[in-house]
Amino acid sequence: MRAWTLLWCCLAGSAFASPRLSFEGTLADEEGGLLEGPVALAFSLYDQAEGGAPIWQESHPEVDVIAGDFFVTLGDVEPLGERLATDRALWLEVAVDGGPALTPRNPLTEVPRAAAALWAADVTGQHIHPAEVSVGDRLVIDRGGRWVGPGGPGGGAPDYRLRFIDIDAETQNFCGLLANGRALCFGRAYLQAPATPFTAIAVGESHACGLKADGTVGCFGAGPEARTMAPDGRFTQIVAGMGHTCALAEGGEVACWGDDLQGQSTPPNDRFVSLCAGGLRSCGVLAEGGAIRCWGGDGQGRPNPAPPAGDGYAGVTCGFQLVCGWRADGFASCSGVAGAPPGLYARIEAGSSHACGFDPAGSLTCWPDVVSGAAALGGPGLVDVAAGDFSTCGIRTDGTVMCWGVRDGFTPRPPEGFAPFGENP
């Protein structure tokens, strides 16, 4: 049996019914080779550094390991209860695939015990006002009061597949954010994301950029737009097209960088509340009046189709051949190759020549019904969607990803360990 070594960190997770611990680690063999693929991990908690009997145990039979890195939430299977709420020193022991425990045991810091102390505080009869609710690092109730956790209310058996919280696309490239903020990309280009955690992700043809927790921007990829210095400042939204990126500053100003052959990186001197980028164009919702204004071209020296008429828009999305906007009352309008089907829309995501929109109840509609099948799926069961040129990927309520639509025999497929493809949500 191969011997493994573990580099690790253990952080306090959000408490809900019992404290959880977020455990991240890297598994390598004696020669430094990184483990790849699903493994079984067994965790034991002790009140002494060597010997003795465990005071708590939990097994995770199928943990995805990518380039040595893995992430689990302890306390999901066997509640930790009040075991962490103690002044005694505690140690955590890990075993891989039924093998002997890795040595030495890992001492816990004060942070997990502080989490247990907070959990132990009695709030019976008190009215609490959380903006959202998480269990471990998994969001289960969003800011709109909707359940977005695994399996619907009541949970169910633990699910060890990787979970996404955000996803974006351009042409045939897709990137998503995992629950810990790490970016994972798939599709034609397979962009290699850094270990930096992000709060939002934007994907271009050969690059991607993300917003960090402090509002600054980080970019990666093979294209020159990834190596172009991102502007200083703090931003609230980031979008990307084929070779350019735009970000919305806290004051409503827009900064764009990268390819500017069609003027897509030269925004007007206006203030905006929402941005989009797709192909060789960029658009935004003006802060004053809510009209949609676009800049850039179509790559053939022609201006883009006029954006949807009117004002009062709250959000905008754009692709190669269409621009869609929606208002707070659910009214939506699209210009270009296809108008939005009748109905109300809370948000819309445009691809190159198709779009998908969520109604206020969370049901998805995609249009037009193109031959590739990129707009073939609809109905409830998805919480986010990203539209490419001839493919679409969506995040299920449990955080797993599914994709549909094909071009030249290619359908985007995340790495192994994700939910099966072709299943309806």
> Is 372 a residue whose pLDDT tops 70?
no
- Full-prediction pTM beyond 0.75? no
Query: Which option is the CATH number for 164-404: 3.40.50.720, 2.40.50.140, 3.40.47.10, 2.130.10.30?
Result: 2.130.10.30
pLDDT score of 163: 82
pLDDT score of 292: 96
Domain spanning 4-120, CATH class: mainly beta
- What's the angle, vertex CA 212, arms to CA 70 and CA 66, rounded to 5? 15
pLDDT score of 423: 33
> Is 301 a residue whose pLDDT tops 70?
no
Give percent above pLDDT 90 in the chain: 34
Q: Mean pLDDT throughout 410-416?
A: 61
> Is 308 a residue whose pLDDT tops 60?
yes
Backbone φ and ψ of 106, nearest 5°: -100, 120
Q: Mean pLDDT throughout 267-278?
A: 96
Q: Mean pLDDT throughout 62-66?
A: 85
Mean pLDDT, the chain, whole residue set:
79
Tokens of 407: 């071009």
pLDDT score of 302: 54
**Distance, C-alpha 276 to centroid of its chain:** 18
Give the best-scoring range by mean pLDDT among 260-264, 286-290, 293-297: 286-290
pLDDT score of 166: 94
DSSP string, 261-314: TTSTT---S--EEEEEEETTEEEEEETTT--EEEEEB-SSS-BPPPPPPSS-EE
Q: Mean pLDDT throughout 238-256?
A: 94
Residue 336 pairs with which residues in a beta bridge? Answer: 322
- What's the angle, vertex CA 387, arms to CA 38 and CA 72, rounded to 5? 25
User: What is the band of 14 on the pLDDT scale with cuts at 50, 70, 90?
Assistant: very low
* Segments making up each domain of the chain, as ranges: 4-120, 164-404
User: What is the band of 315 on the pLDDT scale with cuts at 50, 70, 90?
Assistant: very high
pLDDT score of 159: 40
Within this chain, domains 4-120 and 164-404 share the same CATH topology: no
